[in-house]
Amino acid sequence: PREGYYALRTGRVLCIAHRGARSVAPENTILAAQRGLEEGADLWELDVQLTADGQLVVVHDDTLDRTTDVASRPEYTGRAPWRVCDFTLDELRGLDAGSWYQTADPHGQIASGGVTADDLALFPGLRIPTLDEALAFTADHGWRVNVEIKDMTVNADGSPGSPDYPGDEAVVRAVLECIRAHGLLERTLLSSFRHDCLRHAARMEPGLALAALVEDVRPDDPVALCRDLGVVAYHPGDDIVTEADVAGLRAMGVAVNVWTVNEEADMRRFIDWGVAGLITDVPLLCWGLLRER
């Protein structure tokens, strides 16, 4: 395992706040990160994409309509489906990335009282952060982060990504520059479904902790995959990981961080299997379980 990985070790299972504590604040905002920190998460996970003018921003979907007010903005009526890669940073920064939460109540936390009126008052006007801002927040709080580079070559609907995509190498170079600028090389876990990004990162910054993201279909041989990529961590969806995978990867010194684990019974099961970390929308629940062990 690489040096950097040890800086991420705590001696117990890691609690990783998925897109921040996205159950209680609008995902991938600085407020969601703040809530993750308050709820005891060891690090937060965020999603990185490029704007039309080549800036790194923190947003999950390849379109802006679910988590911003773009669809209700008259000036953007003709810009559907509102792809992140078609908007400049200035345009993105003018969007409200918080008000949607009140309408959607995405985790039922408003209905259940987990998110109060005082909390809700903070959401309108939240902005999509730049990666620079997100890492500044992380560094300022002496925290740690799992930066996920999204696969920008293909959209969720299967259509091709922006023809202006500068290539994996250029994206990884820019992300690494930002991580270095904030002094977070020892406090960052870099992950991607786009494994070529991991290969570039391994070459450009050999000490950085890397994680292979996989979903939908279990790789034939997760150990071989991780060995080939030179990663210190394996990030499977919770529906494709097996107890044998966890044991086999552990034996190779590869950490298994499962996503997205939100139910207490599942958290206990994966902890019993020996996972290294849980990527969760509800860090408070996760941290509570970890503290009692």
Binding interface with ligand G3P (CB under 6 A): 18, 45, 47, 60, 148, 191, 213, 235, 259, 279
Q: Write the CA distances from 142 to 6, 56, 72, 138, 193, integer angstroms.
A: 16, 22, 38, 6, 27
Residue 60 bears catalytic tag? yes
In the bound complex, what is the minimum distance in angstroms from residue 47's beta carbon to ligand G3P?
A: 5
- Decide: is 62 part of the binding site for Ca ion (CB under 5 A): no
In the bound complex, what is the minimum distance in angstroms from residue 16's beta carbon to ligand G3P?
A: 8
Indicate which of ligand G3P, Ca ion, none lies near residue 259 (CB less than 5 to 8 Å, by partner kind).
ligand G3P
Which of 60, 107, 195, 200 is catalytic? The answer is: 60
* Packing angle of the helix pair 131-140, 168-181 (nearest 10 deg): 30
Number of residues binding to Ca ion, judged by CB under 5 A? 2
Q: Are 98 and 123 in contact (CB under 8 A)?
A: yes
- Decide: is 27 part of the binding site for Ca ion (CB under 5 A): no
What are the two backbone dihedrals, phi and then psi, of residue 8, each rounded to the nearest 5 degrees?
A: -90, -10
Indicate which of ligand G3P, Ca ion, none lies near residue 235 (CB less than 5 to 8 Å, by partner kind).
ligand G3P
Q: Taking contact as CB under 5 A, which single stretch among the options 42-50, 87-95, 108-116, 173-181 is the one that binds Ca ion?
A: 42-50
- Decide: is 61 part of the binding site for Ca ion (CB under 5 A): no
> Exactly one of 27, 39, 42, 47 binds Ca ion (CB under 5 A); which one?
47
Of all residues in the shown chain, the one whose CB is closest to ligand G3P is 259
Rounded to whole angstroms, the Cα distance separating 128 from 97 reads 6
CB atoms near residue 121 (< 10 Å): 9
Nearer Cβ to Ca ion, position 42 or 148?
148
The CA dihedral of 147, 150, 151, 154, to the nearest 10 degrees, is 180
- Residues within window 143-202 making contact with Ca ion, judged by CB under 5 A: 148
Residue 18 bears catalytic tag? yes
Indicate which of Ca ion, ligand G3P, none lies near residue 127 (CB less than 5 to 8 Å, by partner kind).
none
- Kindly list the catalytic residues: 18, 60
